Amino acid sequence: MTENSYKTRCGCIHYFVNLIDKQKITLVFLPGLTADHRLFEKQTEYLEKKQNVFVWDAPSHALSRPFTNNYSLSDMAEWLDEILAKEEIYNPIIIGQSMGGYLAQMYMELYPDKIKGFISIDSAPLQKSYISAIEIWLLERAEPLYRIYPWKALLRAGSRGCAETEYGQKLMQKMMMSYDSDPKEYARLAGFGYRMLAEAIKADLPYRISCPALLICGEKDKAGSAKSYNKKWHQREGLPLKWIKNAGHNSNTDQPDEINSLIEKFIRGVECI
């Protein structure tokens, strides 16, 4: 894959892309908060020779630093759209893990006719009706908790809390180690990300799913209320939901072969429409 970059008012976004045929579907992978492009390495390695593939380091993450934390989820969606246009990617299936899934929903809100499909991996609905007032309150006040948590303990808790397998846990720890020289930067990033998410929820926009979609969630996902949110999302919206055995919040790292198979099946379904 080729590394490229895109300059914004807040900093430079780095991303990786491999385009075989621009007329065909492109898989756009969006990692979750504090993770980076490496989160999807098992997906990109498997799919890049078969499909157009794009993955980024989100603003303020990994290679996309330094970056001023003065932007919104809608700003991120606009930057993503500008990058896709720059790369002449016009048929995206967006695959978002956790925060990446929220960003995908914001993208659909702003550009409902530009997206060909949406796969949510251990994410949740962005609609305000799903979220309680206390949950929003907690999102807005997460940063102090990260600041007081000893860094080595946070590394252990973060990696074990996100993944069930040795590979998944080591990968999460490796991504967190991008901030080892300044753990306060990690706390600022997490706090800013959760506040940004809270603002997007409080905006109370429709956030309708405007394309074929698939919900994926690890059976052992321990992140917040992800499992209960996915159950409600599936029930209210009628979206298909696939539970992944022996997988945590980063289910695509715990069970990559199963996730890759589900992605390929989803692509075939979209191509038939």
Alpha-carbon distances of 71 from 37, 61, 76, 190, rounded to whole Å:
20, 14, 7, 14
Which residues, 6 or more positions from 210, have their beta carbon under 8 angstroms from its beta carbon? 108, 112, 113, 115
d(CA 202, CA 136): 8
Q: What is the DSSP string of 183-240?
A: HHHHHHHHHHHHHHHHHHHHTT------S-EEEEEETT--STTHHHHHHHHHHHH---
Instruction: Show the domains of the chain with their CATH numbers.
Output: 2-128+206-271 (3.40.50.1820)
* 110 touches 45 (CB < 8 A): no
| Separation CA 28–CA 98 (nearest Å) | 14
CB 121 within 8 A of CB 95: yes
Q: What was the pLDDT predicted at 223?
A: 85
pLDDT of residue 224: 74
Q: What is the DSSP letter of 109?
A: H
pLDDT of residue 273: 74
Region class of 212: left (phi > 0), else alpha (psi between -120 and 50), else beta: beta
Q: Measure the CA angle with vertex 124, ends 25 and 118; round to 5°.
A: 10
Per-residue pLDDT of the chain (273 residues; tens, 9 = 90+): 999 999 999 999 999 999 999 999 999 999 999 999 999 999 999 999 999 999 999 999 999 999 999 999 999 999 999 999 999 999 999 999 999 999 999 999 999 999 999 999 999 999 999 999 999 999 999 999 999 999 999 999 999 999 999 999 999 999 999 999 999 999 999 999 999 999 999 999 999 999 999 999 999 998 878 999 999 999 999 999 999 999 999 999 999 999 999 999 999 999 887
